[in-house]
Each structure stands twice: as structure tokens, then as C-alpha cells.
Homo-oligomer: A and B are copies of this chain.
Amino acid sequence: MNRASSLHAPTFSPLYRQIKQLIMGNLESGEWGPGDAIPSESELAGRFGVSQGTVRKAIDEMAAENLLVRQQGKGTFVATHKDPGSAFRFLRLVPNDGVPQVSQSIPLECWRAKAGPDVARTLALEPGAPITILRRLLKLGDEPVVFDEIYLSSELFPDLSLEVVRAGDSLYGLFESRYGVCMVRADERLRAVAADRVSAELLQVAEGSPLLVVERVTFTYGRKPVEWRRGFYSTRNHHYRNELG
């Protein structure tokens, strides 16, 4: 293990960050898949030729970023969306009264298209690259609350179809198990807009009534963008919850 590049190198990074990058490499390459246990801290320390504390600090950061999950006495595991508890990590919509509700995802349409300049840019694809577009409705306890339009690279998600989506569990769980793509981070942009006819009908609100629009770019390991979606949220009985620290 190199002891940094020394002497004011602008690329300096401490040992534990180099270790972190090595572990990241194993995640990106899919060597350790979602839900798997990674080797123990002492095992990794030996393998990399550093002390256990240094490996620990690397894993600390990755656990803080929700890439890994530690379990005392058992081991450290690659984070997965199948794990109940982190299954709806990215859904910030909660009922106003706080009573939890069962959620139901209803796939509506799924078709192929070519990436326009905007989608190509956000997903880092060539313009005209094949993409798959999925529309779905999310119900929380019998009430339709989110209408999503989702853009994906057809290359990354080859055989995606209504049938495939219907069969799977949560969407991100499906992406993990069927395509080996694990969603790790997302950037969202929120706006208020007036409901168009389609959204209004699906969400059972009056046309022109205010809706929350949530545009999301979702990333896998290494900040690689892999999903773009636009969601129309009905905020009659729900709200988008956010914590500022």
C-alpha cells in the first residue's frame, strides 16, 4: 500500500480512503453483491497490509453513506433495498396523520424509445441511445398518491417489461436482483405545478389542482447515473418529509 503520493501531490489521500476505494472497487465490479457479507475487518486488514483500525475507518465512512451495513457479532454486509427497513429509503412521502399505510405499485405502461438530448445528458448516454420508459402508479392504502415516469438505459436493464415489473417486489429490489444495479444515492428537485389531465385522472384530483413534482436522478456506485424519473405527488393527505441537519 503506497503511503500517499507524498510531497504536496494534489492527489493526496489518506490510507483509509485508498482502502475505501479498493472496497468500492469490489462493490462496483459486483464481486460483493447486495446482501452479501464482506470479509471481516481483520481479514481485510491482512489482505491490504494495513491495521484493522484503518480498515475500520474506511468501512465507517461507507456505513455512513449507507453503502454497507454493520451488524455486531455477525459481520458487515452490502446494503440492499430488499432489506425491510431500507426498502423505502428513497420515498419521502408520508401520510399527514402519521399512520403507516401499505404501499402498492401498479405498473401502467412500458415501452422503448431513443434518448433525447436531455435524458441522454442526465443518464450520461449517447443521444439516440435505446432507453426504456416505465409508467407506474403508487398507492398508499387504496389512495393513489404518486404517478411516476421512469427513464432507464435499455442496455443496463435489457428485458424490462410490464410483466417483469409486475412479478418483482419493489422496483429497486428488482433492479438489484435482476440487473445487478444497486441504487445508492439520488438527487431530487421539487416543484409545485398544476395537474395536467393524465395526472389528474390517475391521482383522482381535479385537473389544474396543485401537485408536487419530484424529479430524481438516481446513482449507483461511483456516482454513475442510472435512473431518471419524474413523479407527480398528490399532497392532499400526504406530505414530503425532509430533515435538515
Report A's interface with B, CB cutoff 8 A: 64-66, 89-90, 92, 185-194, 209-212, 216, 233, 235, 239-245
Which among A187, A190, A239 has the highest number of chain B CB atoms within 10 Å? A190
Chain B residues within 8 Å of A210, by CB: 192-194, 210-211
Chain B residues with CB below 8 A from A244, complex form: 89-90, 92, 185-188, 216
From residue A78, how far is it (CB to closest CB) to chain B in Å? 16
What residues of B have a CB within 8 angstroms of the CB of A186 in the complex? 243-244
- Expressed in whole angstroms, the Cα–Cα distance for A34 and B245 within the complex equals 16
Selected from B64, B194, B240, B243, the residue in CB contact (under 8 A) with A190 is: B240
Give CA–CA (A235, B245) in the complex, Å. Answer: 23
Bound CA span A90–B212, Å: 20
Q: Could you tell me if B191 and A212 are in contact, using CB atoms closer than 8 angstroms?
A: yes
Q: In the assembled complex, which residues on chain B have CB atoms less than 8 Å from the CB atom of A189? A: 239-242
In the A-B complex, the 4 residue pairs with the smallest Cβ-Cβ separation, listed nearest first, are A192-B210, A210-B210, A192-B192, A190-B240
Copies in the complex: 2
Interface SS, A side: strand
CB contacts (< 8 Å) of A212 on chain B: these are 190-192, 212
CB nearest to A216 among chain B residues: B244
B193 touches A245 (CB 8 A): no
Closest to A191 in B: B235
**24 cross-chain CB contacts under 8 A:** A66-B245, A90-B244, A92-B242, A92-B244, A185-B244, A186-B244, A187-B243, A188-B242, A188-B244, A189-B239, A189-B242, A190-B235, A190-B239, A190-B241, A191-B212, A191-B235, A191-B240, A192-B210, A192-B211, A192-B212, A193-B210, A210-B211, A212-B212, A216-B244
In the complex the two chains form, what is the Cα distance from A243 to B66 in whole Å?
A: 13
A241 and B188 form a contact (CB under 8 A): yes
Nearest B residue (CB) for A186: B244
Interface centre among A64, A209, A243, A244, by most chain B C-beta atoms within 10 angstroms, is: A244
Residue contact B66 to A188, C-beta cutoff 8 Å: no
A201 to chain B, nearest CB (A): 17
Q: Cβ of A239: which chain B residues have Cβ within 8 Å of it?
A: 189-191
Residue of chain B at shortest CB distance from A194: B210
Q: Which residues of B contact A211 (CB under 8 A)?
A: 192, 210
A194 to chain B minimum Cβ distance, whole angstroms, is 5
